[in-house]
Amino acid sequence: MKCAEVIEWMHRYLDHDLSREEITEMFQHIDDCLSCAEIFDRLTMLSKQLEQLPDVKAPFSIVDSILPKLDELDRGLLQSGKEESEDQVVVPFSREGLRDKRQ
């Protein structure tokens, strides 16, 4: 097993995304590879430190600023009667039309 693959598996291990067989294989490599063992120790320590950080909620989200504008646009379309039905398909141009214009 290559070190690059093991390092990827380390991240997956910390995310609880490895099978038991993969965990066994990863630790066998770590037991034999001092470099990967050191990386695993650092990643494990960093992961534990990150888990200790308090949860942060952003005071403002770009989604929160966009959703009201989308609602406003939807209301405008409904009022003007321009809303398309669900079964309508809009095709901005056809390939044949493009070929005709190029010739």
Listed by start position, the domains of the chain span: 3-52
Q: What is the CA radius of gyration of the chain?
A: 27
Which pLDDT tens digit goes with each residue over 8-45? Answer: 999 999 999 999 999 999 999 999 999 999 999 999 99
Structure tokens at 25: 């294989």
Model confidence at 57: pLDDT above 90:
no
Assess contact for 10 and 26: CB atoms under 8 A. Answer: yes
Query: Does pTM surpass 0.75?
Result: no
- CB-based contacts of 27-34 (< 8 A; 24+ apart in sequence): 29/1, 29/3, 30/6, 33/3, 33/6
